[in-house]
Amino acid sequence: MEKMKKVVSEIAYSHNFSKLSILHRSLIPLLSLSSSFYSLSLCIRHHLYSLGIFHQHRLPVPVISVGNLTWGGNGKTPMVEFLSLWFSNSGICPLILSRGYAGGDEVRMLERHLVGTFAKVGVGANRAMTASWFLERYSYTDSRTNGSLENLLSEKKVEITSDKISAIILDDGMQHISLARDLDIVMVNGLTPWGNNQLVPLGPLRQPLSALRRADIVVIHHADLVSKENLDDLKLRIQEIKKGLPVFFSRMLPSHFLAVHDNRAKIPLSVVEHMVLLCVSAIGSPSAFIKCLKKLGPLHIDQLHFSDHHQFNIKDICEMKCRLEELQNQFGSRPVIVTTEKDYERDRKALLQLHPFEVLVLCSKLQLVSHNHSSEKGFKKLLKQLLDRNPETPAQVTSF
C-alpha cells in the first residue's frame, strides 16, 4: 500500500507522463476515470447546495474556514494555530473544529501548543453537531457584536474573562460546505502549488482551481523556500482566477528541538550543526522539511519519507536502523534522527524504539512574511475588516 501511494503521488506531481515508468503509465487510465467520477460528484453536491436542496448550517458566532485545494503540506494546521493564538491573545475564545483525520496527530499537536489558552478543540466528522455540543456546554457570545473584534489590532494582550465561545475556526474547511462560514482562507503550497493540475486521484487537487473564487484570502506557504519570480507568478495565476483576491505569504519558522525520550527541555537549533542527520517523516511536503533543515548547517542529510499520516511499523523501524548504521559506518560518527511534530504526535512509541540513536523533533511556528506589499499587519487588518461584515448576511454558495 505504501508503495502504491508513492506511485500515485509521483504521477500527481509529474508534468510529463511520457517520462514515467511503465507501471506509472499503466495506472493513468484508471486514475483518470476515477478523477472524472470524483469531479462529477463534486459538481452534483455543490449544485444541490446552490439549488437549496441541501442547506448550510449557520452558527451564531463568526466562522473562519482554513482550507486548501490540494492534499497535504499547505500549512493549514499551522495557520489554524496562528489564528487561535492571535484570537486568544485578543480576548476572543476560539473553538477549533477538526475532522481528526488519520489518528488525530494534528489535533494532538494543536492541543499541546494551545495549552494555557482558552482555545477549545472539537473533533468529529459532523462539525455542525460538534459545534452545537460545545456551544451548549460553554455558551457563546458573538465577537462581531460584543466589541471584542476591536481587540484584534491591539498590540497588547487582552485577558479573557469568560470561556464563552466567541469565534469558530474550521480546520480543513474548503470542502466542508455544509457549514456556513464568514471568511474563507485558502492555503497554497508555494513549492508544489497544483501538481499536474488534475483532480484526485490522478492529481493532487481536491477541488478544481475555480474553487478559489470562493476564497476571501489566499496565503502562499513556504514562501521563504521559493524564488521571488515564482511567488509573483503564482500570485498572478491566483488573481487571474479571481481578480483582486488578496494574497499573503507565510513560512515555517524553526524555534527549537525536542528530544523524543524527554520532551521537557527545549534544545537549541544549533545542536545539529556539522552533524549527520537522517530525516524521517510522513507528511505532505517533506521537501520543505529538508530545505528548512539544510539552513541549520548539518554536515550531511539523508532522507526517509513515507506517505502523509503513515504510521510507522516494525518494518519501517528496521529500515531506519539499517540506514542509521550505514551512515555511522560511512561517517564514523553516530547520526541523529530528525522528525516533525506531526510524526512525533502520531508515532512517539515507535520512534522510541530507535534507541540508542537520538531522535529530535523540529518545532516550528507559522509566520506571515512581508512580500510584494503584503505583511502580517495587513493580513490582520483585512481579516478584521472581513469579519466586521454584517453577521446577518446569508451564506452564499458560488458556482465553480
Domain ranges of the chain: 2-50, 63-246+374-387, 254-365
Task: Reply yes or no on whether the pLDDT at 400 is more than 70.
Answer: no
Please state, in angstroms and rounded to a whole number, the distance separating the CA atoms of residues 77 and 341.
12
Q: Quote the mean pLDDT of the chain.
A: 93
Please state, in angstroms and rounded to a whole number, the distance separating the CA atoms of residues 7 and 1.
10
Of the options 3.40.50, 3.30.1490, 1.20.1630, 1.10.3470, the CATH number for the domain spanning 63-246+374-387: 3.40.50
Residue ranges of E strands in the chain: 63-68, 94-98, 120-123, 167-171, 183-189, 217-221, 247-259, 262-267, 276-281, 300-305, 336-340, 359-369
Task: Reply yes or no on whether the pLDDT at 363 is more than 60.
Answer: yes
Task: Reply yes or no on whether the pLDDT at 200 is more than 60.
Answer: yes
Angle between helices 341-352 and 105-113 (to 10 degrees): 110
pLDDT at 398: 40
Neighbours of 75 (CB within 10 A): 26
Question: 79-93 pLDDT, tens per residue?
Answer: 999 999 999 999 999
Please state, in angstroms and rounded to a whole number, the distance separating the CA atoms of residues 189 and 76.
10
Please name the residues in contact with 264: beta carbons below 8 A apart, sequence gap of 6 or more: none
Please state, in angstroms and rounded to a whole number, the distance separating the CA atoms of residues 110 and 76.
12
Task: Reply yes or no on whether the pLDDT at 399 is more than 50.
Answer: no
Question: 304-348 pLDDT, tens per residue?
Answer: 999 988 999 999 999 999 999 999 999 999 999 999 999 999 999
Can you say how many angstroms the Cα of residue 324 is from the centroid of all Cα atoms in its chain?
30
**What is the mean predicted confidence (pLDDT) over 259-263?**
91
**What is the mean predicted confidence (pLDDT) over 151-177?**
91
Give percent of the chain above pLDDT 90: 83
Local confidence band at 395 (pLDDT 50, 70, 90 cut-offs): very low
pLDDT at 283: 92
**What is the mean predicted confidence (pLDDT) over 100-118?**
86
Of the options 3.30.200, 2.40.50, 3.40.30, 3.40.50, the CATH number for the domain spanning 254-365: 3.40.50
pLDDT at 72: 79
Is the Cα torsion angle 254, 260, 261, 263 positive or negative in sign? positive
Residue with cell 539552513: 295
Q: Greater confidence, 160 or 45?
A: 45
Strand partners, 183: 64
- CA separation (Å) from 46 to 41, 104, 126, 199, 400? 8, 28, 18, 16, 8
Number of alpha carbons in the 13 Å side-chain half-sphere of residue 263: 11
Question: 114-148 pLDDT, tens per residue?
Answer: 999 999 999 998 999 999 999 999 999 999 988 89
Question: 231-245 pLDDT, tens per residue?
Answer: 999 999 999 999 999
Local confidence band at 104 (pLDDT 50, 70, 90 cut-offs): confident
Question: 24-75 pLDDT, tens per residue?
Answer: 999 999 999 999 999 999 999 989 998 989 999 999 999 999 999 998 789 9
Can you say how many angstroms the Cα of residue 315 is from the centroid of all Cα atoms in its chain?
28
- CA separation (Å) from 18 to 144, 210, 312? 54, 27, 33
